Structure 1
């Protein structure tokens, strides 16, 4: 009887480790770029006063270095579109996929003159 109890407890411990690891992994998988943290996920492409646009303008105000902007976006996992001043990040959770995009303009001195973005999600 004692052996049976030990086996059951051991199996329960292993199952708990597996479930805990799976929950941790799924939570890690759902994290996107820091710029998009805390943003609501209904798609809001046309609202120039969205909280995401405000965060982008605060992080990269007019006159900011385009090089620094690209470095920050790259570190946060954004991928750049060729021949465009645009970057997008994609990530997902178990049931949803998310994206955050950034578009900007820059002058000849490679200083940011305008910036905006979009966030969105799609869930099963």
Structure 2
């Protein structure tokens, strides 16, 4: 978790240096994640590597908006990006593995992504 946060801070520092004329972002929106928008949603209960999906035991109500939220699984030195499907079995939710490595017992977090409009535009 700490490594992930350090990575985000370092990436933010790199992008802050790109704020010169002709910057690579132009006037496109920039996506940011704040710590308040990260919530624990469940734990990985079963992994089907051949089929590329996991079963997540959810904690409480499962609220997920595909347009502005990302679901991630964090283990010791692993991170995986998951895409929840419409399938749910009682307290379990199925999710496709987009990328990364996931194992049984990994924590599943939902991050809300905010869009911040870049005020400077390229010439």
Query: TM-score when scaled to structure 1?
Result: 0.25
Structure with more helix by fraction: 1
Bigger-Rg structure (1/2):
1
Query: TM-score when scaled to structure 2?
Result: 0.25
Task: Point out which structure has higher relative CO (alpha carbons under 8 A, 6+ apart).
Answer: 2
Structure with more strand by fraction: 2
